[in-house]
Amino acid sequence: MSGLQQVKSSAMPVEVGGITGAHLLQYIERIERLEEEKTALGEQVKEVFQEVKSSGFDPKILRIVLRERKRDQEDLDEEETMVLLYKQALGMMPGTEH
């Protein structure tokens, strides 16, 4: 049994300095459950990305699309305009070679 498990099983919550151990323990256990769920969800997302790849889609591009879907359209438009402007200035757009 690891040190953490020993502390978990043998520690009796008490009140110290106005902090109720039982109340604090509830929060800790709740966070631990959520962390476990987060790990499980992360594995599920990883599996979906594997399905995406096996279906012939590019996971890298899909991640870009997912990231952009979370953003405000006005911000995306402004960013796209600036990227095009920079590319033009560098001669990276057709017809703008230096």
Which residues, in sequence order, are bridge partners of residue 15? 20
Helix (H, G, I), strand (E, B) or coil at 98: coil
CB contact set of 50 (below 8 Å; sequence gap of 6+): none
* Helix or strand holding residue 20 (H, E): strand 19-20
Res 35: pLDDT: 98
| Prediction pTM value | 0.63
Q: pLDDT-based confidence at 4, cuts 50/70/90? A: low
**What is the C-alpha separation between 23 and 28, in angstroms, rounded?**
9
Helix (H, G, I), strand (E, B) or coil at 96: coil
Note the residue count of the chain: 98
**pLDDT digits over 84-96, tens only?**
999 999 999 887 6
Pairing mode, if any, of strands 15-16 and 19-20? antiparallel
**pLDDT digits over 44-86, tens only?**
999 999 999 999 999 999 999 999 999 999 999 999 999 999 9
Res 9: pLDDT: 54
